[in-house]
Amino acid sequence: MWQSLKRKKLLATPFPPDWRRLVEASCPFFHRLVVGDQRELEGYVQIFLAEKQFEGCGGFNVTDEVRLCVAAHACLLLLHRPTDFYPRLRSVLVYPNMYFVPSVRHIGSGILEETQQQRAGESWAEGAVVLAWDVMRDHISNPEHGHNLVWHEFAHQLDFEDGAADGVPVLGRGESFPVRRLRYTGWARVMRSEFEQLRAQLQRGENTILRDYAATNAAEFFAVATECFFGRPQPLRQQHPALYEEMKWYYQQDPAGWDWNKPGIRGN
């Protein structure tokens, strides 16, 4: 009850003007949204910042620009539908650039090799999202490449909400059981078909808006599809119309219909 009351208070709190200027400067998609969506996003950002802890790693100083950029990108995925604001997430860890983590791999004959694996980000099922700030900025500045680290890692957080990293987030929240069952059936049909289509295209050497990392598994497919849905929606709708419609239903948004002539993201 107290959390609900606190969130209502935050939603009713005016968004600080200096925060809005930072969001406008660091989140080009903000200019594409209608005013009602901008205000909804601002309220969600205030809740996110009140409930999640930010930590700088590798000597990085987490500024308001960093916090607002991450929060706004993460909260864009939550608009227009019931949400508990990434309930498994407690902390966002931010490195200044790509970082290394210990990794162990099996090389045969029972031998394990310890290495250092370089990463730009990761999303944990419990507790944290890790991001590299320089990679984030590069993705935001060059959307034509079809990458967005924040949307990718927070799509994984949505995927984790039901306890499984399987490319199937919670669907039909608040709807009756028969309706939810139909939602899951339709989702599985479209996602399986699109995933198999992507793998076949890659085997034939064909170009696709969904980069090859999406063919890793169902969880990565959903995360990459989320990046494309918000970052390059028109090509995604053209090349993968069924996938676009499924994502449009899930996110309750239609980025292809945003005003892409407004200043902000370079090209599409």
Q: Output the domain CATH number for residue 22.
A: 3.40.390.10
For the chain, what is the radius of gyration of the CA atoms? 19
Q: How many domains does the chain have?
A: 1
Domain annotation covers residue 263: no
For 127, the domain range is 14-257
Tens digits of residue pLDDT in 139-160: 998 877 779 999 999 999 999 9
Domain annotation covers residue 79: yes
pLDDT of 110 reads 65
How far is it, in rounded angstroms, from Cα 166 to Cα 217?
8
How far is it, in rounded angstroms, from Cα 52 to Cα 150?
15
Q: What is the β-pairing status of strands 111-119 and 99-108?
A: antiparallel
Tens digits of residue pLDDT in 47-66: 999 999 999 999 999 999 99
For residue 188, count other CB atoms closer than 10 A to its CB. 14
For residue 174, count other CB atoms closer than 10 A to its CB. 8
- Is 239 buried (19+), middle (13-18) or exposed (0-12) by CB count in 10 A? middle
- Is 70 buried (19+), middle (13-18) or exposed (0-12) by CB count in 10 A? buried
Q: Which residue has the tokens 């990679």?
A: 135
Domain annotation covers residue 52: yes
Domain annotation covers residue 5: no
Domain annotation covers residue 67: yes
Identify the top-confidence range among 178-182, 186-190, 203-207: 186-190
pLDDT of 268 reads 37
Domain annotation covers residue 7: no
Domain annotation covers residue 177: yes
How far is it, in rounded angstroms, from Cα 25 to Cα 3?
31
For residue 10, count other CB atoms closer than 10 A to its CB. 17
Domain annotation covers residue 262: no
pLDDT of 73 reads 98
Q: Are 159 and 165 in contact (CB under 8 A)?
A: yes
CA 216 to chain centre: 17
